Chains A and B, each alone.
Chain A
């Protein structure tokens, strides 16, 4: 059974159709890439899945649950984690708190227990500190736990954002341009890393990326968007040679 199914999703911003007839069928454990020129509607698709926008038409289902109409925190609590194109950490908070905040839906204590620090408060806090530290050590950020997020170097901030998304305990992870601003060497490491977290955390990953090296290297399936419409879909080899894709990216004449 598919983990995520999007059926005939449309979204309008005023009169502009940002996404039209978007269909997606994501099987558990898959790694699928979405590519397309700037303004093609890629990030809008992420925002529709995570509930930032409410789809104008169509349906998005996580297994049996309809996501259209749910709020972002409800969808996230269904174990959908995401990162952002422009890093959106809680900049003035500590590295540890960034990861701890993402545990919100998993922490089981009532407001009263929180106000009085009673009942399940202690053991739950201990549990999320341990889990946060475990995630930070996986991402080699453990020694920076007390550091303010905005003081971290760019690469560490990127890693922290993924660590924070994993703190949600996701089944489905949405990565919005994870390789932005990285050099070829760092991209190689990132590719290995994405493969590794996918195995380690048993994730299904949907990623948006401009770096062809990364997309072609690790994605099993690629979806090409342009002007909100799906241009092509298929395995990397097929996409690479698809004339429509080449046209959208490179212009009329096929190159080499």
Chain B
């Protein structure tokens, strides 16, 4: 049985570190940046998992919701809110980004009443393309050039806060009647309806929560990268999140966290300079041609390696790191006890079979 007090204690330590690391430069700037990307990617993965994992749909619209959140927040901090004078207004901009994305999430939920599977995937892809071309064609928000010079307002404590908040809310949602409704829709939608589940309402809520956090992640992302353009939020971005979801495992919050972390760190390790530094010990005869043809072109190779990773994961490891399983920490005590009245015997290694 996991220690229940350990989680709040870890959160407190985490928050302390999130403040202390940038304040006292405990880690170098690059590592801090990667940590923030990890956080943002966790938010994206956990939220997409709600639709693609728990509900069993295949949404490709996540980068679109992210774009809506990013643009809304960036325009607010650039043109409306006096964030220079009051940096405390930044969370409002982030929240507005999330809410705007949630509203669009409601619109995408409507076709999901009628269609499922491949067809819904195509509709979400169309939505992503619409968002991108709408942004490209509005000149007042930069058109294809995007918005440069966004203030760097995303900090480690904020990323930490929003990451914890998104995990907490998605977890709460999953362990409620609506979350069980989402699971039952994945299993058998007609039976679910006949067991009194209001499937439309459940789908509305799931899409709304999912797109809300995609918007939040987009807003944080914009104020970290300090530059956004429609190109940033294309299908490649969605593919990244998909890989993180399926690598971590469907219908698992713990899996999403692991998937996002592993993938983000992996991407950083695949940077030409990092790989070159790691392989510098090789003799020049081997290293030079390797550097010439492969390492220096890793930016391009990435586009081959990462989608290939998605294909391989879905073919040979469809459950990912912990698909359909969950860390005991994330399961409410009431649920755990109801499922196992008698104390579970050893050898469980802190991982419980979810649902």
- Which residues of chain A have a CB within 8 Å of any CB of chain B? 50, 52, 71-73, 76-77, 82, 84, 88-94, 96-97, 100-107, 109, 111, 114-117, 121-122, 125-126, 128-129, 132-133, 142-143, 145-146, 148, 164, 167-168
Given contacts A101-B192, A105-B196, A96 and B187 within 8 Å (CB-CB): no
Give min CB distance, B212 to chain A, whole Å. 10
A114 touching B339, Cβ below 8 Å: no
A114 touching B173, Cβ below 8 Å: yes
The verdict on B79 contacting chain A, using a C-beta distance below 8 Å, is no
Given contacts A114-B172, A114-B173, A104 and B339 within 8 Å (CB-CB): no
Query: Chain B's interface: helix, strand, loop or mixed, by majority?
Result: helix
- Which residues of chain B have a CB within 8 Å of any CB of chain A? 169, 172-173, 176-181, 183-184, 187-188, 190-199, 205, 209, 324, 332, 334, 338-341, 353, 355
A114 touching B338, Cβ below 8 Å: no
A121 touching B338, Cβ below 8 Å: no
A90 touching B353, Cβ below 8 Å: no
B324 touching A90, Cβ below 8 Å: no
19 A–B contacts from the bound complex (CB under 8 Å)? A52-B190, A72-B194, A82-B194, A90-B187, A90-B188, A92-B355, A101-B195, A102-B195, A103-B196, A104-B180, A125-B332, A129-B338, A132-B338, A142-B341, A143-B341, A145-B339, A146-B353, A148-B353, A164-B195
The complex places the Cα of A96 from the Cα of B335 at a distance, in Å, of: 10
Chain B contacts of A164 at CB under 8 A? 195
B184 touching A111, Cβ below 8 Å: no
The complex places the Cα of A185 from the Cα of B180 at a distance, in Å, of: 36
Given contacts A92-B187, A93-B355, A145 and B196 within 8 Å (CB-CB): no
User: Which one of A126, A132, A145, A146 has the highest number of Cβ atoms from chain B below 10 Å of its Cβ?
Assistant: A146
Which one of B172, B199, B332, B355 lies within 8 Å of A97 (CB-CB)? B355
Q: With A71-B193, A90-B191 given, can you name 6 additional A-B contacts, CB distance below 8 Å?
A: A73-B194, A77-B196, A82-B194, A100-B177, A101-B177, A117-B332
B187 touching A91, Cβ below 8 Å: yes
Which one of B180, B192, B340 lies within 8 Å of A146 (CB-CB)? B340
A100 touching B180, Cβ below 8 Å: yes
A-B contact count (CB 8 A): 117
User: Which one of A93, A96, A106, A107 has the highest number of Cβ atoms from chain B below 10 Å of its Cβ?
Assistant: A93
Chain B contacts of A72 at CB under 8 A? 190, 193-194
Given contacts A52-B190, A88-B191, A73 and B197 within 8 Å (CB-CB): yes
Give min CB distance, B351 to chain A, whole Å. 14
The complex places the Cα of A91 from the Cα of B179 at a distance, in Å, of: 16
Which one of B176, B184, B340, B341 lies within 8 Å of A90 (CB-CB)? B184
Give min CB distance, B166 to chain A, whole Å. 11
Which one of A82, A84, A91, A145 lies within 8 Å of B338 (CB-CB)? A145
Chain B contacts of A73 at CB under 8 A? 193-194, 196-199
Chain B contacts of A114 at CB under 8 A? 172-173, 176-179
Chain A contacts of B340 at CB under 8 A? 145-146
B355 touching A94, Cβ below 8 Å: yes
Give min CB distance, B50 to chain A, whole Å. 12
Chain B contacts of A148 at CB under 8 A? 353
Give min CB distance, B25 to chain A, whole Å. 36
Chain B contacts of A100 at CB under 8 A? 177, 180
